[in-house]
Amino acid sequence: MDKDLITRGLDRTPLWKFALWLLPWALLAAWGGQTIRDMFVQGLYLTNMDNRFAFGLWIVFDLTVIALGAGAFFLGFLTYLMRQKDLQQVLNTAVIVGFVCYSGAILTLAVDVGQPIRAWFAFWHANVHSMLTEVSFCITLYLMVLLIEYVPIILKNRKLRLVPSFLVLEFNLHRIMFLFAGIGAFLSFFHQGSLGGMFGVLNGRPFAFREGVGIWPSTFFLFILSAIAVGPSFIMLIVMTVSRVARRPLVDRKVLTRLGRISGLLLSAYIVAKLADTGIWIFRTLPDSGFDAAEFYRHGLFGIWVLFLELTVFGLLPATILLNRRRRQNPRWLVAGGLLACLGITFNRLVVTLQTQSAPTLSFDTFMIYWPSLQEWAVMLGVVAYGVILYSLSYRYLNLFPREHELKTSSGRA
Amino acid sequence: MKTQQAKPARYVMVIDVDRCNGCGNCMVGCAVENNVSVPPADALANRGLTWMKVYRVGNDRPFPDHQTVCLPIPCQHCDHAPCIHVCPVTAVQRDEQTGIVGQIPERCMGCRYCMAACPYHARYFNWFTPVWPAGMEKTLNPDVGTRMRGVAEKCNFCHGRLDRARERAAAEGRRQLDPGDYVPACAEACPTGAIRFGDALDERSGMKDLLAAPETFRLLESLGTEPKVYYQSRHAWVRQVGRSRLARVRGFETPAGEGVTHG
Amino acid sequence: MLPTAYEFHWDTGHVVFLGVFYSVVVTVLSILVYTALRGRGDLKGQRTPAIAWEETFHDLPADRRACRHAFDGPAAGRVCHHCFDCATCAGHPEFTAIGRSLQAPQPPDPGVPMPSDTFYHRGHTWVKPAPDGTLTLGLDPFAQRCFGHPTSVSLPAEGQTVQSGERAVTLHRGRLEARLAMPVAGEVVASSSHDGQWRLRVRPDPASASLVNLLRGNEARAWMTREVDWLQGRLNPAGGHTTLADGGVLMDDLVAAYPAADWDDLWGQVSLDV
């Protein structure tokens, strides 16, 4: 029915089947949307956040998706500015995933803050010493850059490209796209870092506080490093998932293993940096602030296993898998490595947000626990559903994978 | 806060813990003065708005050596406040003239970053729309603005009273405030006189001697926040309460245990 | 409300931070304005067909973009990166000279008639110069067999100017559509169509490269053989196909003969369209 809108030479499932695929995601998005409305109309008391747990699931979600979406800028940087032409095969997906991640994060933030209409105050009354100001500025601008990178992909739709002004716009945008790749890399460097910096500057929270270089605590650099380590893995996992769901090869195998290798290398660098940072924190920073590391690992669920898990199961293990050439050739191992890396970053963001707030500061504080409410899950899952819907529509109507057609014909499925 | 005064001041609060009997009058006085709203009855425990909050702290020893004190904790008005440099919309500012850390509710966008930053848990968020039952709006203090849902708020040393004190002094032809002219609601309400307040730079207030006394301590001094709320106690274990937990426990030389507290 | 309330003052931090931020904003906006202006210039300057050709070319798979010098000579396996614009290609003169000196053997008969006075465009249109200086255009037999009997043909009007690569001729057959690229630039002098077949007469634009980019003679035959092999491969993916090495003839209407094939895709590939 909508064959005319689908790229020539690519086959997609019949429209009714596609609608059936979208239906559960649409319902999830609707549930999320309804909950967002409740948040605005009734109030944030519908969550399980409170005065001791001011940051909850949504902040963890924001931090995680922004780190996972780092593939957009990093792969763009590698493709346009470092001339890694192979990675072009996954670049369209990376841009869309990035757009979905950042727009989703901004939407979640709009629900999370108590007065979203005042968000523009961050620009008008900017506190230039706050990491959060830096984050706001950069992610707003970066979302615009991602939109500018997304538009040409849309304009190359089979029918849209027949419109002369669309075609010419796309052509001219494509010519200067490397400029946006550079701007995007610049902006991303700073906001990925500032997200880490947000926690590293908290001198009132010894669990999170880190020393650093100038105004930038070590977490600034650790967040950047972990984001670029995990971004390629996330794109790799997405492409492999889409490939599996669609039951066809979409990119050359070597591109996937390449992404895995990049991830493995950067993850190794991250582990080394994190080990050093943790050591400095335990033996210098904490004692200087009058606290003791053991303090933070004796309460409730947050035992020393947290540190161990982050560094080994979610750090050394995926790094070792992804650095091993033979393992990378095996899709199961590749997925395992990528998945562990992505879970590791999720875990790290969770620890930095939740454990910071759980940990007592005053000596007579109790250890607090927090579990998100149903409404918080609804909003988060709704945003995830929005992402799936947007990507599904893009996959159906746009030519995301330049090699898909060749891989189809060469595998004899003409 | 735009302030003009002849001489800069440094307002500090000194709380004598040994005198505090946990009556909670300071909390009530604060709420009345500052139009602090009351959340619904079924609200979660940590959803309350208590600019001044009295904690009960024990000494971790079993009967008969067990002792308890009550610790009123308002905003500590730190000189190196973690909340000031994290606010993205500059809704928190420290007045250079007085040292008071003020919150601008009309500017706050409710991101709660300041609340994550504060180690004293002295900041509170309006999870609910403030409502006053019919008739209760007559109890509102006309000199203090109410806040809206979705913004953070905290103790501000009742600086509205500072403005009124200055107006009175100016009307009387004085260029400087006298000690006692400006006193926050909690200090005024305290029946035992445990809460003292004054300008540390003014010799007449007597604050300097209090700050220098050996029984004076502050909370979490090792973090470098430089709070301007001081506490006093003749009991050694109470003075340890301001340190980090393990440091405090080590100071007691008792086995580490979960202290008897609730916030 | 205003930043200047509550004792705001500028310091180095403000200058650096806001300076960097607004520089980036200005840069992004300038790039967008520049792009919009260039786009407007392209539209006004009638560069749309050339841009469309270039865009489409880069979206074609590699096997549709083989360099002409791979067919009969020196550049085996080479892929064109120049939109088949041999006139401005740096390698073309050199490869042509080498090809001539190599004297490649006679290519096999491709199985479709290919007169030696006809020039062929890679999109399967042919060009034949007429004595009066005009050029006659038509669809080559290979493509005719692929398209069968189109139900409708739309041609450019007489007097209309066409650019090289402009998709001025459209064929329809049910849901299938082929937009054919013009092999040359010029003014349409005569256009006619009958029963799905069409002819154009074009007075070529003297300023354009005209026939340099088109294939002819042995080169064209070698190309056509490869095209037939390619089509056979696509229509019989299992490999069980009858070879044409001995000079068999392609069936008249392949769409009817192979109804299960993806003709939407094949029509596009034959006409170098996406």
Q: Which residue has the higher pLDDT, C158 or B248?
A: C158
pLDDT band at B252 (very low <50, low <70, confident <90, very high): very low
Biggest alpha carbon–alpha carbon distance for chain C: 93
Q: Which of A220-224, A410-414, C163-167 has the lowest mean pLDDT?
A: A410-414
Nearest CB among B109, B112, B240 relative to A118 is that of B109
**Which residues of C lie inside 8 Å of B (Cβ-Cβ)?**
6-8
**CATH architecture type of domain C51-270:** Beta Barrel (2.40)
- Which one, of A184, A186, A194, lies nearest residue A134 by Cα? A194
Q: Are C72 and C104 in contact (CB under 8 A)?
A: yes
Q: Do C35 and A402 touch (CB under 8 A)?
A: no
Cβ-count burial A53-84 (b if 16+ within 10 Å, e if not): bbbbbbbbbbbbbbbbbbbbbbbbbbbbeeee
Residues of C in contact with B1 (CB under 8 A): 6-7
Q: Do B90 and A125 touch (CB under 8 A)?
A: yes
Mean pLDDT of chain A: 94
- Count Cβ–Cβ pairs < 8 Å, chain A vs chain B: 190
Q: Do B89 and A121 touch (CB under 8 A)?
A: yes
Cβ-count burial B24-43 (b if 16+ within 10 Å, e if not): ebbbebbbebbbbbebeeee
Amino acid identity at C218: N
Residues of A in contact with B77 (CB under 8 A): none
Supply the pTM of this predicted model: 0.93
Amino acid identity at A125: H
Q: What CA–CA distance (Å, rounded) separates B257 from A386? A: 47
Count of the separate structural domains present in chain B: 1
Q: What is the pLDDT of residues C16-75, one digit of tens each?
A: 999 999 999 999 999 999 999 999 999 999 999 999 999 999 999 998 999 999 887 788
Biggest alpha carbon–alpha carbon distance for chain B: 61
CA distance B104 to chain C (A): 9
Token pair listed for C187: 């003014």
Q: What is the pLDDT of residues A155-189, one digit of tens each?
A: 999 999 999 999 999 999 999 999 999 999 999 99
B47 touches chain A (CB under 8 A): yes
A214 touches chain C (CB under 8 A): no
Give the rounded distance of the alpha carbon of A410 from its chain centre: 34
Q: What CA–CA distance (Å, rounded) separates A311 from A226? A: 12
pLDDT band at C5 (very low <50, low <70, confident <90, very high): low
Q: Are A118 and B107 in contact (CB under 8 A)?
A: yes
Asked if the model's pLDDT at residue B2 lies above 80, the reply is no
Q: Which of A107-111, A251-255, A335-339, B173-177 has the lowest mean pLDDT?
A: B173-177
Residue in A closest to B226 by C-alpha: A204
Q: What CA–CA distance (Å, rounded) separates A152 from A96? A: 11
Q: Do B109 and A121 touch (CB under 8 A)?
A: yes
Residue whose pair of structure tokens reads 């301001």 in the numeric block: B242
What pLDDT does residue A88 have?
95
What pLDDT does residue C101 have?
81
Mean pLDDT, to the nearest integer, of A187-213?
95
What torsion do the CA atoms of B173, B178, B183, B187 make, to the nearest 10 degrees?
-160
Token pair listed for A99: 């757009």
pLDDT band at A367 (very low <50, low <70, confident <90, very high): confident
Q: Do B151 and A114 touch (CB under 8 A)?
A: yes
Nearest CB among C3, C35, C262 relative to A125 is that of C3
Asked if the model's pLDDT at residue B227 lies above 90, the reply is yes
Q: Do A161 and C28 touch (CB under 8 A)?
A: no
Residues of A in contact with B261 (CB under 8 A): 364-366
Mean pLDDT, to the nearest integer, of A324-340?
96
Q: Do A198 and B120 touch (CB under 8 A)?
A: no
Residues of A in contact with B91 (CB under 8 A): 125
Kindly state whether residue B246 falls inside one of the protein's structural domains: yes
Asked if the model's pLDDT at residue B3 lies above 60, the reply is no
| Neighbour subunits, A (≥3 Cβ pairs < 8 A) | B, C
Domain of B198?
11-254
Q: What CA–CA distance (Å, rounded) separates B86 from B113? A: 7
Amino acid identity at A299: H
Asked if the model's pLDDT at residue C208 lies above 90, the reply is no
Helix A253-280, helix A218-246: angle, nearest 10? 150
Which 8-state DSSP code applies to residue C66?
A: B
Asked if the model's pLDDT at residue A105 lies above 70, the reply is yes
CA distance C260 to chain A (A): 10
Contacts of C269 (CB under 8 A, 6+ apart): A9, C60, C61, C64, C234
ipTM of the complex, rounded to two decimals: 0.93
Asked if the model's pLDDT at residue B1 lies above 50, the reply is no
Residues of A in contact with C21 (CB under 8 A): 137, 141
pLDDT band at B261 (very low <50, low <70, confident <90, very high): very low
Q: What CA–CA distance (Å, rounded) separates C252 from C239? A: 21
Q: What is the pLDDT of residues A260-305, one digit of tens each?
A: 999 999 999 999 999 999 999 999 999 998 888 888 888 777 788 9
CA distance B127 to chain A (A): 5
> Phi and psi at residue B93, in whole multiples of 5°?
-145, 145
For residue B179, give the CATH number of its domain: 3.30.70.20
- Which one, of B85, B97, B110, B76, lies nearest residue B226 by Cα? B76
Q: What CA–CA distance (Å, rounded) separates C274 from A7? A: 7
Which 8-state DSSP code applies to residue C107?
A: P
How many Å is the Cα radius of gyration of chain A? 22
Residue in B closest to C1 by C-alpha: B107
Q: What is the pLDDT of residues C228-255, one digit of tens each?
A: 999 988 888 765 555 544 445 567 888 9
Contacts of C261 (CB under 8 A, 6+ apart): A414, C234, C235
Q: What CA–CA distance (Å, rounded) separates C127 from C136? A: 6
What pLDDT does residue B80 have?
95
Q: What CA–CA distance (Å, rounded) separates A109 from A214? A: 29
CA distance B46 to chain A (A): 5
Nearest CB among A134, A171, A412 relative to C51 is that of A171
Contacts of A143 (CB under 8 A, 6+ apart): A99, A102, A103, A106
Q: Do B225 and A203 touch (CB under 8 A)?
A: yes
Tell me the residue ranges of DSSP E strands in C121-273: 125-129, 135-139, 152-154, 161-162, 169-173, 176-180, 186-194, 197-204, 215-216
Q: Are B246 and B86 in contact (CB under 8 A)?
A: no
Q: What CA–CA distance (Å, rounded) separates B96 from B102? A: 11
Which 8-state DSSP code applies to residue B44?
A: -
Residue whose pair of structure tokens reads 């050694």 in the numeric block: B236
What pLDDT does residue B248 have?
64
- Which one, of A216, A149, A206, lies nearest residue A361 by Cα? A206
CA distance B103 to chain A (A): 14
Residues of B in contact with C6 (CB under 8 A): 1-2, 90, 93, 104
pLDDT band at C108 (very low <50, low <70, confident <90, very high): confident
What pLDDT does residue C240 have?
54
Q: Do A365 and B243 touch (CB under 8 A)?
A: no
What pLDDT does residue C246 have?
43
Q: Are A224 and A73 in contact (CB under 8 A)?
A: no
Interface of A with C in 167-206 (CB under 8 A): 167-173, 176, 179-180, 183, 186-187
Q: What CA–CA distance (Å, rounded) separates C33 from C25? A: 12
Residue in C closest to B1 by C-alpha: C6
Q: Do B90 and C7 touch (CB under 8 A)?
A: no
Contacts of C34 (CB under 8 A, 6+ apart): A176
What pLDDT does residue B257 have?
36
Interface of B with A in 153-212 (CB under 8 A): none
Token pair listed for C200: 């154009």
Nearest CB among B111, B151, B223 relative to A206 is that of B223
What pLDDT does residue C23 have?
95
Q: What is the pLDDT of residues B42-86, one digit of tens each?
A: 998 899 999 999 999 998 889 999 999 999 999 999 999 999 999
Domain ranges of chain C: 51-270
